Homo-oligomer: A and B are copies of this chain.
Amino acid sequence: MQSEVFNPGDETNRFIEQADGAGAAVTFTGLVRSSADNPTKRMTLEHYPALAQSQLENMASEATKRFKLLKVTIIHRFGMMHPNEPIVQVMALSPHRQAAFDGANFIMDWLKTDAPFWKYEETPDGAKWVEAKAIDDKAKDKWKA
């Protein structure tokens, strides 16, 4: 976890360098979204540091075990950020492609509902706390054993 902006490609390269024996790497990058219809001036991510740290570690080790991954790295920012900046990056390395896809997807689905971060968005129309989406709760269900 860090407040500084990170470079998605540099992180991917550093991650892939540890690929000895792996055949597949999947990188998910979440970005501060801002479109013409829904412009965002800036976003602030509040977090609960101790719990966030342990939740991200739990998710990484659960995904590693469940999908037999070779390696997982999660980068999550907090604090203030601007449109098109990366917020989060999840990387999964595996001998097989489906495990790498599933591992990264699983972590993102859990992270959306179980990592203690809260988005505060400032738009030209005012500022507001982003509301949790029911669809995010459902996304988690597909991983139920």
Instruction: Give A residues with C-beta under 8 Å from B.
Output: 7-13, 16, 19-36, 84, 86, 95, 97-98, 100-101, 104-105, 108, 139
Classify the secondary structure of A's interface with B: mixed
A10 vs B33: C-alpha distance when bound (angstroms): 21
Name the B residues within 8 Å of A108 (CB-CB): 97, 101
Which residues of B have CB within 8 Å of A104? 26, 101
A91–B11 CA distance with the chains assembled, in angstroms: 16
Distance in Å from the Cβ of A107 to the closest Cβ of chain B? Answer: 11
A88 nearest CB across to chain B (Å): 10
CB distance from A113 to the nearest CB of B (A): 13
